[in-house]
A and B are shown apart, each in its own frame.
Chain A
Amino acid sequence: MAENIENKLDKIEKNLLKAIADIEKTPMGAFNIRENGKGIARNTTANIDIVTKQDKPGIDIIVKPNTQNESVHIPVLLTESGFNDVVYNDFYIGENANVVIVAGCGIHNSSCETSEHDGIHTFHLAKGAKVKYVEKHYGEGNGTGDRILNPQTIVFLEDGATLEMETVQIKGVTSTIRETKGELGDNSNLVITERIMTHENQTAKTIFDVNLNGENSSVHVASRSIARDNSVQEFISNVNGNNKCFGHVECDAIIMDKAKVTSTPKIVANHVDASLVHEAAIGKIAGEQIIKLMSLGLTEKEAEEQIISGFLK
């Protein structure tokens, strides 16, 4: 019987959960909810086990081979100001399993002290396993204290495994360094979709480091970001083609106000049959896009909002 979380959470916690994991009531399937460094609710299923680590903070999530269409929610909440939470979550996905994993961290900081969460997630996908991994980061609160999130995602894909990762950070995070590393085996496929928006004086740095080691392995990274006000963004990608493989990195940024964006693409072919493509574009919202939407009856501001929300969809 799953634990009922509804009575355990206050309004702030419920809002954070809704923002990062779309959870409004007790989720179906396996879950582990962590708040201010401690697990506050957990559920396991016949096929998915969640075990607390003994040597360091964090959990192991073990999915049995051939598990089909189950989900795991592991959101993290930070509501205590001045808290620095580091957590190691390791996912072991059995052969031919097919699961959805929803992670993410929400910080509510209403003081002047810094709140920080560093989540290190390592995925081990066995042969033929498929994972859809959704990760959202969100910050709120009236305090002047920084809200810092430094997620790391490390992915090991065995023969024929596929991981599709959607990562979103739209609001309220003062500073972030987001690192994703991938080691891909034969016939494996990694798809990463990233959406970031920064405001005010926020900074965001994204680093992708992918080794296409296996024959017919492939990676597709699509990053879209919007930098507003005085915010600063940096995008670094490094894809190494070490076998017959395909890699495609696409990085688009809209720059506004006094923001700064740097994009550093690097593709390295270490094999004659490695096919690697990088596309990068940075620019302000095209004037003709605004004009087109105004000619449909939107004001300039509405047109800008429509373009931004579409871009980050």
Chain B
Amino acid sequence: MLELKDISFARDNKQILNHINLKIDNSKLIAITGPNGSGKSTLAKIIMGILVPDSGSIFFEGTEITKMSITDRAKLGIGFAFQQPVKFKGLTVKDLIELASGNQIKLSEACDFLSDVGLCAKDYLDREISSSLSGGELKRIEIAMLAAKKSKLTVFDEPEAGIDLWSFNNLIGIFEKMHKEIKDSSIVIISHQEKILNIADEIVLLSDGEIEAVGQKDEVLPLLLNRAKKPCKVMLDKGGNA
């Protein structure tokens, strides 16, 4: 479905992504994980077209999309849930869910998308997507929007950020539902949450802008845990015990 070939991206003299090669097949739920600053969000934005790579190419269902606009990628079937949802003065939850689904939707449909993320449609449909909503509410609405968009490939950038743990357990069900209901669709979730890693078909471990490992949970999780135990390089250089 999606193929990234030799993608590199640098900013301010820092190499953020370094020769990334990654293939995502149909009907897969992929988790991309790795330490902060490893390039995960940059990679997600490059898939959506929000950032353009310095080199390399991207193919979606056999078509090269490297130079394609965000709009065209969205129309082709790529969706993206922002890590920090965007606020709009004046646009309501209903407006955004309708724009996402591409047409006017029935109240009952909107209701389903919102209740899946634990929000009552009656209370939220006419609310503005503005600071009047909490971070957690905005995040859930963002996820509902992507469920309404029904993309072939949906990328979620840290969906757990800002959502309490109790609600998050319920959200896991949404990813599984989307994965099941949209035929041949794949989902990419950038996450640190073990629960997400547990449901993933494959985990991609990104480190310092490079893919350190791709594999099943049993293969990648130990690598992750080992990384966490590694002593701080700076402290070691100073001769400390870390």
CB–CB B71/A298 < 8 A:
yes
Q: How far apart are the CA atoms of A300 and B72 in the complex, in Å?
A: 11
Closest to A254 in B: B89
Provide the A300-313 mask, 1 if CB < 8 A to any CB of B, else 0: 10000011011111
CB–CB B74/A310 < 8 A:
no
CB–CB A252/B71 < 8 A:
no
Which residues on A sit within 8 Å (CB–CB) of B204? none
* Nearest CB on B from A33, distance (A): 32
How many A-B contacts at CB < 8 Å in the complex? 57
* Interface residue ranges, B against A (CB under 8 Å): 48, 50, 69-71, 74-75, 79-80, 82, 86, 88-92, 95-96, 99-100, 102, 145, 149
CB–CB B80/A310 < 8 A:
no
- Contacts known (A296-B100, A297-B102); A291 close to B90, Cβ less than 8 A: no
**A residues 263-313 touching B (CB-CB < 8 Å):** 286, 288-289, 291-300, 306-307, 309-313
Q: How far apart are the CA atoms of A269 and B102 in the complex, in Å?
A: 50
Residue total for A at the interface (Cβ-Cβ under 8 A) = 22
Which residues on B sit within 8 Å (CB–CB) of A312? 90
* Selected contact of A306 from candidates B70, B82, B91, B102, CB within 8 Å: B91
CB–CB B145/A296 < 8 A:
yes
CB–CB A294/B71 < 8 A:
yes
CB–CB B74/A224 < 8 A:
no
* Nearest CB on A from B11, distance (A): 16
Which residues on A sit within 8 Å (CB–CB) of B69? 294
Q: How far apart are the CA atoms of A1 and B94 in the complex, in Å?
A: 43
* Nearest CB on A from B108, distance (A): 21
6 contacts between A and B (CB under 8 A): A224-B89, A286-B86, A291-B70, A293-B99, A297-B102, A307-B90
Which residues on B sit within 8 Å (CB–CB) of A313? 90
CB–CB A292/B82 < 8 A:
yes
CB–CB B90/A288 < 8 A:
no
Which residues on A sit within 8 Å (CB–CB) of B149? 296-297
Which residues on B sit within 8 Å (CB–CB) of A252? 89
CB–CB A310/B89 < 8 A:
yes
